[in-house]
Amino acid sequence: MEKKIVVLPGDGIGKEVVDEGIKVLDTVAELFGHQFKYEEDVIGGAALDQFGIPLREETLEKCQQADAVLLGAVGGPKWDTLPGHLRPEKALLGLRKGLGLFANLRPVEVFGPVVESSTLKREVVEGVDVLVVRELTGGIYFGLKDRGEYDSGEAWAKDECIYSVEEVRRIAKVAFEAARGRRKKVTSVDKANVLETSRLWREVIQEVHQEYPDIELEHMLVDNAAMQLVRQPKQFDVLVTENMFGDILSDEASVLAGSIGLMPSASLADAGGLGMYEPVHGTAPDIAGQGKANPLATILSCAMLLRYSFGLEQEADVIETAVKSALEQGWRTPDLVLSQDDPKSVLGTTEITNKIIEYIRKSALIQS
Ligand SMILES: NC(=O)C1=CN([C@@H]2O[C@H](COP(=O)(O)OP(=O)(O)OC[C@H]3O[C@@H](n4cnc5c(N)ncnc54)[C@H](O)[C@@H]3O)[C@@H](O)[C@H]2O)C=CC1
Ligand SMILES: CC(C)CC(=O)C(=O)O
Ligand SMILES: [Mg+2]
């Protein structure tokens, strides 16, 4: 199979983890006889430094013409004081909107071997398997185009939260369809006791649910959901929510898995179409450049890329199994080690990728 992947490393550890993801994709390509062509471009802070804007039109066009996009993360303290439209993070919003990627899938799977990496009790987290379905191109991160901008020192600032029926309907369908292939339960998270957009959200979710009588639906207010997620996470199967709530709840859910360095994501327009794949985490300025970032979230995002954009199920499975094997054998990155005297073998970014590649090669040998 021949495919074109646009690679957007971004800033901070984004570059470090994306490099590792490509090594894994190259290994899979070599073993399974595929040809992946990469086209790298700058976005975020890197694009600001080089071109004066966080997202160039030509970058968006390149992505539109690709088969998939692999992204690291954007932002960092260097650009924190810039006005809103120049923030590196706006590049991400522009890409998501420009590519029509309204469905963000963030699986939260607790890998058995790293249960002890979670700060929560074993009985709470063991076996957790939640899919967060986050609406990605609406809500308060977008608002109205002509809303103006806050200037430092001004007396007030404004963000607007808008949702249309159609925006909620299409993400509801993604969630109910996903639940059909899982444990058949959807929890819709909103703030319908306060927000008008949430009242619309709840109404539309209920309406779409009529088409899915085989799926159990419950509604939960977001403050309660934040609490339930760490109190009793196994009550959740598919959790569907709007843009900002999904952003926050998925970072919270990473505590169940042991580290945000394990959390992959896929941002999709339509099933089988162009997708963008990125770790849930940001640029981690506190550890950037030290060779200790956990690349597994990105490597698992590469598995999602193969599965959702290229339909390469077996190749995706091989990557996921290799990640599990490496963790089972006790290999860890520093973020997965809670105490100094933890006996687990601690590896850097490149070293743990090399282990994953070793396991991928071994499993390909067994299969051939
Ligand atoms: N998708 C994106 O591009 C995102 C970008 N950001 C940006 O990243 C910058 C830093 O944001 P933070 O709030 O600090 O969030 P962050 O996710 O970058 O880091 C939060 C904490 O998690 C740790 N961490 C994150 N990824 C890790 C990994 N792969 N391995 C080991 N440890 C990891 C970091 O060291 C830090 O202690 C900001 O400029 C923010 O706007 C934040 C979130 C998402
Ligand atoms: C950086 C933001 C645009 C969004 C974010 O934190 C995320 O998508 O996880
Ligand atoms: Mg986030």
This complex has an ipTM of 0.99
Kindly provide the b/e burial profile for residues 213-251, where b requires at least 16 CB atoms within 10 angstroms of the residue's own CB: eebebebbebeebbebbbeebeebbbbbbbbbbbbebbe
Rg (CA), the chain: 20
The class level of CATH for 119-257 reads alpha beta
For residue 55, report the distance from its CA to the centre of ligand 2, in Å.
Answer: 15
**Given its phi and psi angles, is residue 76 left (phi above 0), alpha (psi -120 to 50 degrees) or beta?**
left
Say how many CA atoms lie within 13 Å of 231 toward its Cβ.
6
Is residue 247 lining ligand 2, measured as CB closer than 6 Å? yes
Alpha carbon distance 219, 215 (integer Å): 13
Residue 83 marked ligand-binding: yes
Q: Which segments of 12-53 does DSSP mark as H helices, in order? A: 13-32, 45-51
Residues of the chain with CATH 3.40.718.10: 1-102+266-368, 119-257
Please state the atom number of ligand 1 nearest to the C-alpha of residue 14: 3
Please report the DSSP string for 64-93 in residue order: HTSSEEEEEE---GGGTTS-GGG-THHHHH
For residue 110, report the distance from its CA to the centre of ligand 3, in Å.
Answer: 19
Is residue 67 lining ligand 2, measured as CB closer than 6 Å? no
Nearest ligand to the CA of 259 is: 1
Residue 180 marked ligand-binding: no
SS3 314: helix
SS3 102: coil
Residue 247 marked ligand-binding: yes
Q: Which segments of the chain does DSSP mark as H helices, in order? A: 13-32, 45-51, 57-64, 89-98, 122-125, 165-180, 196-209, 222-231, 243-257, 296-308, 313-328, 349-367
Please state the atom number of ligand 2 nearest to the C-alpha of residue 136: 8
Q: Which residues lie at CB < 5 A from ion ligand 3? A: 247
For residue 75, report the distance from its CA to the centre of ligand 2, in Å.
Answer: 10
Residues with Cβ within 8 Å of 96's Cβ and at least 6 positions away in sequence, in order, are: 136, 137, 267, 276
Is residue 284 lining ligand 1, measured as CB closer than 6 Å? yes
Cβ–Cβ < 8 Å for 17, 298: yes
Neighbouring-strand partners of residue 105: 133, 266
Is residue 188 lining ligand 1, measured as CB closer than 6 Å? no
Full-model pTM:
0.97
Is residue 75 lining ligand 1, measured as CB closer than 6 Å? yes
pLDDT tens, per residue, the chain with 368 residues: 899 999 999 999 999 999 999 999 999 999 999 999 999 999 999 999 999 999 999 999 999 999 999 999 999 999 999 988 899 999 999 999 999 999 999 999 998 888 888 889 999 999 999 999 999 999 999 987 666 788 888 898 889 999 999 999 999 999 999 999 999 999 999 999 999 999 999 999 999 999 999 999 999 999 999 999 999 999 999 999 999 999 999 999 999 999 999 999 999 997 656 999 999 999 999 999 999 999 999 999 999 999 999 999 999 999 999 999 999 999 999 999 987 777 779 999 999 999 999 999 998 777 76
| CATH architecture label of 1-102+266-368 | 3-Layer(aba) Sandwich (3.40)
